[in-house]
Structure 1
Amino acid sequence: MSISKFNSEGCCSPVGSVKHRPNRQVRPFDPTAYGALSVIDKEELALRAFRPIVYICSPFAGDIETNVKAARAYSRFAVETGYIPIAPHLLFPQFLNDADPQERQLGLFFGNALMSKCSEVWVFGKRISPGMEAEIERAKWKNYRLRYFTENLEEV
């Protein structure tokens, strides 16, 4: 947002602050409004710059296609509400085999490492899978803030 230093109405200029210059349009300077609007603009910019990171906890195993689609929607919801989502179950299955127990455990370990970087853990859905249960237990053990949401993105 660009803030003008000048008053559009021409009514708030300090007396004697505008010098008469022939053949030149005079735009009164309004330092009070400019100062206030500049502070507001800087505060809004700072708020836009900071986005907390949230851990997305939702089912993966079972109906993988449906669960991935839902996790994408949950991540999108986080972005639209001003957060940065971390959804390990969207990332790690790209190169780890969830059917291999060792690789699954490695993925859960990686997820726990990422969870430690998040300000909150968001749990989606009414069904808690075994993987989600492990993530929730870890979050409780570490005293991370947990927030629960329905599949329709409503907080409960």
Structure 2
Amino acid sequence: MSIIESAIFQEVSTEEPENKPPRIMLCHSQTNKVIETVGAVLEAQFMDGDNHLLFISEGIPYEESLHILLISSDLIIKDSIELSAAYTPGMLRNIRIVQPNKIQFSFFNPEEIWVLELLEKPYTQLWGNRFPVKRKSPFLHTTWLALRKAR
């Protein structure tokens, strides 16, 4: 397991439906397949083997959300995490690989460090994450991604 930087996905377009989060269409440059997911700006992307890690923001500086997606080689979302808090600005900064399976970054505050770990094997999580980390399914789900605040 070793995470590397990637540039395989390209932004195709975005939609901003009324009263809903924005949607982004991304094209996988090797297969020309397009996927649609929540968000508006592809901030960073990485690979681990055939899996892709995408960091996507909603492009709303005064109430930003960061969506982190783990996507399989057949472009299916295996896991996703949202980092957000109501009425809180955010900006993805200082993102870097710190270990073969860990990425470190700042989001809400430059002094706040978050660490995303790509797990070697998934596990079943009974309860959701602690605020401001969110998942679509707050109860009983399989997770490949672990996000924690380091400081």
What range is the shorter-chain TM-score in?
under 0.3
**Bigger strand fraction:** 2
TM-score (norm: length of structure 1): 0.22
Larger radius of gyration: 1
**Greater relative contact order: 1 or 2 (C-alpha under 8 angstroms, separation 6 or more)?**
1
TM-score (norm: length of structure 2): 0.22
**Bigger helix fraction:** 1
